[in-house]
Amino acid sequence: MIDNVIKIFKDIGSKDFRILTGIELGMKHYEWVPMEELQKFTKYPYGKLQHKLSLLMKNNLIVGTYVPYEGYQIYFDGYDALALNTLVKRGTISAIGDEIGVGKESIVHEAIKESELAIGETTLVIIKFHREGRTSFTQVKRVREHLSDKEHFSWIYAARLSAKREYDLMVSLYPKVSVPKPIDHNRHAIVMAVAKGSLLSKTRLLQPEWFLDEIISQIGKAYSLGVIHADLSEFNIFVYECGVQFIDWPQYVGLDHPNADELLKRDVFNVLAFFKRKYDIERDVDDVVAGIKHSTSIVE
Ligand SMILES: Nc1ncnc2c1ncn2[C@@H]1O[C@H](COP(=O)(O)OP(=O)(O)OP(=O)(O)O)[C@@H](O)[C@H]1O
Ligand SMILES: [Mg+2]
């Protein structure tokens, strides 16, 4: 899908972006944003607007309906285009590269970031587009709680809220807890540093005990800042020569969450089960959890 956006991005003009923005704003209140609202917002004449809308539909950036009235919705690709446009304009990224991961609720690509100094080298970064809201009921529920009565729920709010939640948390953890450096975010997209090393699930460690200690120590650091990852496993942990990095934070919970203890225990359990399975290292879940809580109380 993003491939489509990348292909046509250079052909999307400022007028198209204005129409997309109009639909995005209208979706706060309407499931299908009425044509009249778009006319008011863009001030384009009816014929011209309709022509542009049909091209946007052809390029899969929006979808339209004529029943019970003429109205439009933004499509993921259109929302991706809006976020990319903002990130490019801000100078955060200048190009987008290969897809490197598709999760249940996101699409992850490499991207190029220009150096802050005009003469410097470009760097490779990661852009994660959130995709929540279409299938996840908990997400829908969470978003509804943030919306006023007048506002209409749409997946773009779920995806945007989730991205903001993840980005804000990464900013608050970095660099105390080892996470990729957060760089920027807009709408449902987050730009961050490339995680160091490789995924724990895909790596054969030569000193597994040392890495397990590192992982437990990072869980403890997050805990001491009041945060539990709540989806930790070998698929969300990167390992490199000097340590580990945790990714994928949108579902984190605070220590005041009603299931905080359970979620902490599950994170620890997932990690220990993996080390048992792959490296035959045995540690007691309750002991490790107690250790994490104990070391936190010493820090306080
Ligand atoms: N900062 C990063 N550096 C390198 N690779 C990354 C980074 N962030 C994400 N990835 C890659 O993209 C994949 C998906 O990212 P992430 O786990 O954050 O999303 P997700 O949609 O929640 O995934 P899942 O549903 O599989 O847990 C990761 O497994 C990883 O391979
Ligand atoms: Mg993941």
Which residues are part of the catalytic machinery? 231
Written as six digits, the tokens of 221 are: 């650091």
**Four-CA torsion 257, 259, 261, 267, nearest 10 degrees:** -100
Ligand 1 near 100 CB (within 6 A)? yes
Q: Which residue intervals of the chain bear CATH 1.10.510.10?
A: 198-299
- Structurally, at CATH architecture level, domain 198-299 sits in Orthogonal Bundle (1.10)
Q: Across residues 261-270, what is the average pLDDT?
A: 98
Entry pTM: 0.93
On average, the pLDDT of the chain sits at 92
What letter does residue 234 receive in the DSSP assignment?
Answer: T
- Quote the CA–CA distance of 91 and 114 in Å, as a whole number: 7
Length, in residues, of the chain? 300
Q: Which ligand 1 atom lies nearest to the CA of residue 235?
A: 29
277-295: pLDDT as tens digits: 999 999 999 999 999 999 8
Ligand 1 neighbour 192 (Cβ under 6 A): yes
- The number of the ligand 1 atom at minimal distance from the alpha carbon of 106 is 21
Paired tokens of 269: 């359990």
pLDDT of residue 287: 98
DSSP state at residue 10: G
Sequence ranges of the chain with CATH classification 3.30.200.20: 90-193
State how far the Cα of 286 lies from the Cα of 173, in Å rounded to an integer.
25
Q: What is the pLDDT of residues 22-40, one digit of tens each?
A: 999 999 999 999 999 999 9
* pLDDT tens track for 180-225: 999 999 999 999 999 999 999 999 999 999 999 999 999 999 999 9
Q: How far is the CA of 3 from the centre of ligand 2 (A)?
A: 21
Rounded-to-integer distance, Cα 210 and Cα 193, Å: 24
Q: Where in the chain is the domain with CATH 1.10.10.10?
A: 2-77
pLDDT at 62: 96
Measured distance CA(104)–CA(81) in Å, rounded = 21
Report percent pLDDT > 90 for the chain: 80
Supply 197's token pair: 């090393």
Whether 98 lines ligand 1, by a CB cut-off of 6 Å, is: no
Q: At what angle do helices 285-299 and 260-279 cross, to 10 degrees?
A: 120
Residue 144, pLDDT > 90, answer no
- What CATH number labels 2-77? 1.10.10.10
The CATH number given to 90-193 is 3.30.200.20
**What share of the chain has pLDDT > 70, as a percent?**
93
